[in-house]
């Protein structure tokens, strides 16, 4: 059930930020980094309004994704790393009760 929640929430983020996912999965790193700010804003708004959100832990995950986006790498491995980090971010958001629908 927990894994299906992660998959569902991950899908919700993809639906909310489809162009970001498109850019990540097509290797348009600079453009994806630009659209990543929108995703970060949504996460920041959530953690600002929820005291038990562990903001530092969540911000570290956001920063890790940003660094990976900005670091030169082979496209396949970079795509894989970003998707894993997004999955980790989604898991953390679910743990703190984020209503991502």
User: pLDDT value at position 66?
Assistant: 92
Which has the closest alpha carbon to 33: 63, 73, 75, 74? Answer: 63
Q: Dihedral (C-alpha) 15, 18, 20, 26: value to the nearest 10 degrees?
A: 130
User: pLDDT value at position 2?
Assistant: 45
List per-residue pLDDT tens for the chain, 101 residues long: 445 544 555 556 666 677 888 888 888 888 888 888 888 888 888 788 777 767 889 999 999 999 999 888 878 888 888 888 988 888 888 787 776 54
Asked if 57 and 92 count as a contact pair (C-beta separation under 8 A), the reply is yes
Q: Collapse the DSSP code of 73 into the 3-class scheme (helix H, G, I; strand E, B; otherwise coil) and give the result.
A: coil
- Reading the block at residue 63, the tokens are 């920063």
User: pLDDT value at position 67?
Assistant: 92
User: pLDDT value at position 10?
Assistant: 57
d(CA 39, CA 56): 16
User: pLDDT value at position 99?
Assistant: 64
d(CA 44, CA 37): 10
């Amino acid at each position: 059930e927990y894994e299906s929640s992660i998959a569902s929430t991950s899908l919700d983020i993809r639906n909310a930020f489809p162009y970001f996912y498109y850019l990540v999965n097509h290797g348009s790193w600079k453009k994806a980094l630009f659209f990543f700010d929108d995703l970060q804003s949504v996460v920041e708004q959530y953690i600002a309004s929820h005291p038990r959100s562990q903001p530092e832990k969540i911000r570290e995950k956001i920063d890790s994704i940003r660094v990976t986006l900005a670091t030169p790498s082979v496209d396949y491995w970079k795509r894989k790393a970003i998707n894993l980090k997004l999955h980790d971010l989604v898991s953390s958001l679910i743990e703190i009760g984020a209503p991502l629908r």
